[in-house]
């Protein structure tokens, strides 16, 4: 999908704080039939005085509801049984509050359910059928099936291609399933960026208030009930209102092992720039990846993780284990909305 021209409301910046919204690239690629992307919507609302978290959620709702985005919300690639299960988390820097849901079914906008967990309970995470019950009791519409024809066709094709490998020796099964996934990417049936999916979006207003949200349909064709890093505080999202925010996309298991979003924020607490803090987390992921099944023929990880980082001064960065010519992240500030280049830790590709 082509990059969109930048646009932003005219604002006057005061002091050293520079308002900004930073997200994964899908935050400036999908509009759900409208005229504004996630980062444009979030920045505009934020600068009009909307609470930062509410503005960010309004932005990611566009992505969650867009059936063309198959890694988030409605039409997200389903699990191995063909069921769309969604995860999301939110963190509010000024209020020092957070909420999340995992493996929730039937709700197109899990980010809003995560915020309801934050607003109406003393908990941080509700999962599975009980998360759906919580959402129903809060007035959310529950649907029987969040698949679109596109996501269902992709799942059926995955089933057709992967069925023979279910009878392989377990030690060979994962490699075979990965080969099936990559063949579908190569054939144009699945967007490479949608294998793991997710949108992370963080923002800071002119008052220096920082919030963040991460929402996803998770790993395509995952084991039912699998929860990745997105709804886990410190992994898929971490916000400290006095320091900054970080969130991630990519292989959630690798991020969970290192709680990389919290690591990034702690590195910034000790004075590192967002880029350097993010790259330090990428080094941690590389160091922790020692299993042969997770390494390529160069001895480096055979997966990617991207981190989207901003500090309390409005400085930001997008980093990853790898980057290619199309690797981007989204930004919106007083200069408008745009896609910028991901800074990679490692040379080459996955």
C-alpha to C-alpha distance for 203 and 244, rounded to whole angstroms: 9
Exposed/middle/buried for 315, CB within 10 Å: 0-12, 13-18, 19+?
Answer: middle
Most distant CA pair in the chain, distance: 64
C-alpha to C-alpha distance for 228 and 253, rounded to whole angstroms: 6
Closest CA to 291 of 283, 303, 281: 303
For residue 18, what are the CA distances in angstroms to 6, 14, 21, 207, 311? 17, 8, 10, 9, 10
Q: Which of 31, 41, 198, 216 is catalytic?
A: 198
CA dihedral 142, 24, 260, 89 (to 10 degrees): -20
The token duo for 255 is 């991020």
Burial 83-115 (b: 16+ CB within 10 A, else e): bbbbbbbbbbbbeebbbbbbbbbbbbbbbbbbb
C-alpha to C-alpha distance for 154 and 158, rounded to whole angstroms: 6
Q: Which helix (H) or strand (E) holds 278?
A: helix 274-288
C-alpha to C-alpha distance for 54 and 56, rounded to whole angstroms: 6
The token duo for 321 is 């284990």
For residue 174, the tally of other CB atoms under 10 A from its CB is 13
Q: Is 35 a catalytic residue?
A: no
Catalytically annotated residues:
198
């Amino acid at each position: 999908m082509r990059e969109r021209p930048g646009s932003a409301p005219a604002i006057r910046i005061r002091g050293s704080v520079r308002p900004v919204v930073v997200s994964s690239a899908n935050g400036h690629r999908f509009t759900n039939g409208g005229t504004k992307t996630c980062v444009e919507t979030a920045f505009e609302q934020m600068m009009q005085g909307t609470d930062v978290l509410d503005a960010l959620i309004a932005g990611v709702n566009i992505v969650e509801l867009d059936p063309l985005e198959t890694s988030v919300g409605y039409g997200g690639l389903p699990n191995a049984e063909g069921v769309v299960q969604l995860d999301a988390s939110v963190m509010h820097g000024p209020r020092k509050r957070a909420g999340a849901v995992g493996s929730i079914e039937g709700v197109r906008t899990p980010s809003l359910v995560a915020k309801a967990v934050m607003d109406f309970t003393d908990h941080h995470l509700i999962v599975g059928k009980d998360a759906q019950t919580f959402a129903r009791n809060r007035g959310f519409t529950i649907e029987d099936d969040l698949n679109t024809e596109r996501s269902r066709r992709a799942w059926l094709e995955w089933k057709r291609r992967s069925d023979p490998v279910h009878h392989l020796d377990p030690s060979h099964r994962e490699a075979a399933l990965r080969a099936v996934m990559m063949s579908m990417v190569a054939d144009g049936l699945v967007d490479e960026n949608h294998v793991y999916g997710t949108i992370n979006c963080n923002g800071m207003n002119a008052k220096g208030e920082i919030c963040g949200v991460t929402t996803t349909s998770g790993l395509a064709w995952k084991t039912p009930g699998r929860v990745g890093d997105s709804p886990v505080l410190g992994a898929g999202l971490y916000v400290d209102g006095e320091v900054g925010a970080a969130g991630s996309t990519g292989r959630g298991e690798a991020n969970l092992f290192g709680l990389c979003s919290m690591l990034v924020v702690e590195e910034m607490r000790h004075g590192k720039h967002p880029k350097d803090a993010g790259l330090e987390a990428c080094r941690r992921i590389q160091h922790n990846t020692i299993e042969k099944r997770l390494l390529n023929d160069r001895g480096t990880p055979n997966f990617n993780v991207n981190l989207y980082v901003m500090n309390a001064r409005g400085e930001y960065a997008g980093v990853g284990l790898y980057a290619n010519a199309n690797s981007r992240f989204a930004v919106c500030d007083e200069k408008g909305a745009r896609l910028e280049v991901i800074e990679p830790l490692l040379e080459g590709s996955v």
